[in-house]
Every structure is written in C-alpha cells, then in structure tokens.
Amino acid sequence: MTKVNIGLIGYGTVGSGVVQFLHKREKYFRDKFNLEFVLRTLCDWNIHKKDIRGLGNTNLTKRFMDVLDDKNIEVVIELIGGMHPAEEIVTTALKKGKHVITANKELIANEGKRLFQLAKAQNCQLCFESSVGAGIPIIKMITEGLAGNTYGEFYGIINGTCNFILTEMTKNHLSFSKALQLAQEKGFAESNPTLDINGMDSAHKLAILAYLTFGKFVKLSDIYTEGITHISHDDIEYAESLNLAIKLLGIAKRGEETIEARVHPTLISKDHPLASISGIYNAIYLHAKPLGDVLLSGEGAGQMAAASGVISDLVNLASRGKDSNLLCNLYSEAPHLKVRKIDQIKTKFYIRFMAVDKPGVLSKIAGILGRHGIGINSVNQRAHNPTSAVPVVMLTNYTTEKMMRLALQKIQKLSIVKSKPVAIRMEKLW
C-alpha cells in the first residue's frame, strides 16, 4: 500500500468537494490502485467558520506555511484561485520538493512556463487538469491520449457560465440579466461574474490549450478577448432563422510561422456538433494529425466536476511515481511562432444596426462597407416602422478585422444609426 500525505490549501466549493471525494472513494482507491490518501493538513483563511465534520485527525490551520513547512506532506493541492498568494504557494511548494496539483487557470496561463521549468529542476510534478473543463480530461486527451499527433486548430466552449446564459436566452427566451441571475442561483456563476461574461476566464483557458497543442506560451495581452454582454434576442432570433447558433468560443489556429488566438461570440452552423453543446457543458473540437477531428464534451462547472479533475491528477501522480515525467509539462517552447494581431485576421461577419426606417438607409450603410472593401452576402430588415429605429442585419464576405472596425466607426456616426452596431464573427468549422 502506497501512502500519500496531502496538504490542501483552500476549503471552498471545490476544496470541500475534494475532501468528500477522498472520503467516499477511500476503499476504491485502496482496492484498485493500492493507494492510501491521507489528508494531513487543511488550510483555509476561515477554517474555523467551515463545516469540519468528518475531518478526523486532519490538522486545521489558517497559515499556508504550516502546509509548506511540513516535511511529511508530499503533495500540495492549491485551490484558492487567483494570482496571489497562489503563485507564492505553488512556487514555495515546488522549491521544497513537493508535488503540486492546482485548478488555477489564471496562474497557469500567466506563470506556467516558469513553474514548469521550476518543477523540472526540482524533479517534481505540477498537475492542472481541472484548470480547463473542470473534470473533463481535456488536458490528458491532448497530451496523452493523442500523444504523437500534431494540431492545426481547435475551437472550445470553455466557459460553462456563458454557455448556460446563451442556452437560456435561446431556448427559454430569457433576457441576459435573467439568465445570469439564474446561473448565479444555480451556482454556475460567481457573485461577481465579470471574468466569465467578459471572456477573460475563457482567455486563461485558451492560453493553456494553445501551450499544450502548439508548444507556445501566448501572453494574455496577445489574445483578443470579447464577452457576451452585447448579445441580444434579436441576434439569437436572426441566427436561428439562418440555421446558426451563437457560442462563446476560444479559437486557436496554427500556420507555418504564426498562431491565431482569440475569444469572442461566434456564429456557427447548427449542423456542427459544437452547436448542440448546451447548458454548463464545455467542449473542445480539435483537428489532430494524423487522427483527424476530435470532439470531447462534459460538464465544465460545478463542485464535483472540478473535484473529479483534481482527484484524477492525484491518482495519476501517485501511480506514476516521483521520477516520471508528465507529458503536459513542457519545459521549452517554439520561439519562432508569432501571434497574429486581430487586425490581420479575416472572417465573415454578421452585423446588426438599429437604423431609422426611411429610404436610402441601406444604400448609405452599404456604401461605407463597399468603400472599405467589404462585400455583402445578404440583407434582412424588419417590417417597416416609420416611428422608430428597426434592426438591419447584414452578412458579409470575408474581410479583415481592421477594415470592419473602420467601417463600423464610420457607420456609427451616421445620423440614421441610433445605437452602436453589433458585429459577430462567423466561423466555418468543417
């Protein structure tokens, strides 16, 4: 029987889920893996306000150094999130020769390269399956299940909160605010959901996936990031009428010398499998060579989903032994790859204007688009209403982000346009 002493830092939703998981599956771990996991110390700032029933002989503390200074603890699980003091905790744990498991996507996205190099130098493991997709084995699929494959592009629904909101807006016709409120009531969104709905949570995860697939650490500042707060029922209804779905996607593509990395709402065909991913489910669709296209999906939010990924890392780490190398811990990168600026990227666009309903409106808008080299595939205008502005929707040919932005700035200044135009990129995923 292999005994593994654990120090857990962070006893919030995921941390308490990990403790429940360890207790419920204790016999299973013994019988199947010949492993005994001992939660030696539990650290939380408010530990004495928490429900500590069933923790037995576990040491309880408010000081994370009590975990890091304990020579008997072999594995530190960091579940407090954010950059600080998580960065100091993980760095110190590795320097003290302890393995680390974390679900902290912000930390890995920002400091992954340095931490992986430190882990290698200390002959330690740094595991992070739950940082993307909670318990869905996205990281293991890319680095182990598809070992030997290379990757050309991937598309990810990697934020359960946004996917839940867009699903409720589409299927149950809720407003954005009502859908967000429901997500918070169900525990799928934080009390402060800003990082989810502005796209930054997805950007953190995209940076991690780009590193795993392309071998390139992409700075968050180089990832174009746009959230879902501007999406309206008009956009969803028009998308439905065109057999399209709106999804917040993390998109990355690799060329010979360049990488695209962007997060934004995207119109995709309802015939594509990603369009059917609803609620809090996450999914990643990637093109592997020589295997082909792969889709992996599952619940990407929730206490036990995230706890499952942590436990998976724990079992894999304990089973492999100290001297094994994790395939996901790259220590160098492909320095020749450059990240393309969003201005250079070409896509088709869906654009919506709220315009005064009178003759000549469409010609003025089309004229500005034409002068910027933007062709129009189709135009749709709601029934005439001379007393108020009406939505005008256009689908364009391929154009660069730069030209579209310049055109929209000109169009917004027209007296006939009564609100900021909405532009949603379109992607063909087959």
Return the pLDDT at 320: 81
Burial level of 182, CB count in 10 A (0-12/13-18/19+)?
Answer: middle
Domain with residue 389: its CATH number is: 3.30.70.260
Is residue 311 situated within a structural domain?
no
Q: How far is CA 220 from CA 109, 201, 338, 346, in A?
A: 8, 11, 14, 21
Residues 355, 271 share a domain: no
Domain with residue 54: its CATH number is: 3.40.50.720
Domain end marker among 299, 323, 351: 299
Q: Measured between alpha carbons, how far is 93 from 412 in angstroms, rounded to an integer? A: 53
Q: How far is CA 267 from CA 263, 274, 341, in A?
A: 13, 11, 21
Q: Measured between alpha carbons, how far is 291 from 141 in angstroms, rounded to an integer? A: 13
Considering Cα of 67, then 71, then 73, then 76, what sign does the dihedral take?
positive
Closest CA to 183 of 169, 165, 206: 165
Residues 290, 150 share a domain: yes
Is residue 328 situated within a structural domain?
no
Residues 347, 279 share a domain: no
Domain with residue 211: its CATH number is: 3.30.360.10
Residues 259, 157 share a domain: yes
Residues 392, 273 share a domain: no
Residues 107, 254 share a domain: no
Return the pLDDT at 53: 84
Helices (H) and strands (E) in the chain, counts: 14, 18
Is residue 304 situated within a structural domain?
no
Residues 152, 290 share a domain: yes
DSSP string for 148-169? T-EEEEEEEE--HHHHHHHHHH
CB atoms within 10 A of CB 341: 13
Buried b (16+ CB within 10 A) or exposed e, 390-422: bbbbbbbeebbbebbebbbeebeeeebbeeebb
Residues 171, 42 share a domain: no
Strand ranges, E, within 142-240: 150-157, 224-225
| pTM for this model (two decimals) | 0.95
Residues 288, 169 share a domain: yes
Q: Which residue has the tokens 């940082």?
A: 131
Domain end marker among 96, 127, 158: 127
Return the pLDDT at 427: 97
**Does 205 participate in catalysis according to the annotation?**
yes
Is residue 306 situated within a structural domain?
no
Residues 116, 8 share a domain: yes
Is residue 337 situated within a structural domain?
no
Per-residue pLDDT tens, the chain, 430 aa: give them. Answer: 799 999 999 999 999 999 999 999 999 999 999 999 999 999 999 998 898 888 989 999 999 999 999 999 999 999 999 999 999 999 999 999 999 999 999 999 999 999 999 999 999 999 999 999 998 999 999 989 998 999 999 999 999 999 999 999 999 999 999 999 999 999 888 889 999 999 999 999 999 999 999 999 999 999 999 999 999 999 999 999 999 999 999 999 999 899 999 999 999 999 999 999 999 999 999 999 999 999 999 998 889 999 999 999 999 999 886 556 665 666 567 778 899 999 999 999 999 999 998 888 899 999 999 999 999 999 988 766 666 788 999 999 999 999 999 999 999 999 999 999 999 999 998 7
Return the pLDDT at 258: 94
Is residue 317 situated within a structural domain?
no
Residues 388, 275 share a domain: no
Find the distance separating the first CA and the last CA of the chain, reported in whole Å. Answer: 49
Is residue 324 situated within a structural domain?
no
DSSP-assigned beta bridge partners for residue 282: 298
| 350 phi/psi in degrees, rounded to 5 | -100, 125
- Which of 98, 105, 140, 205 does the annotation list as catalytic? 205
Residues 143, 116 share a domain: no
Return the pLDDT at 332: 62
Give how many domains the chain has, as a whole number: 3
Answer yes or no: are the C-beta atoms of 427 and 345 closer than 8 Å. no
Domain extent for 405: 343-426
Is residue 110 situated within a structural domain?
yes
In the chain, the amino acid numbered 345 is: I
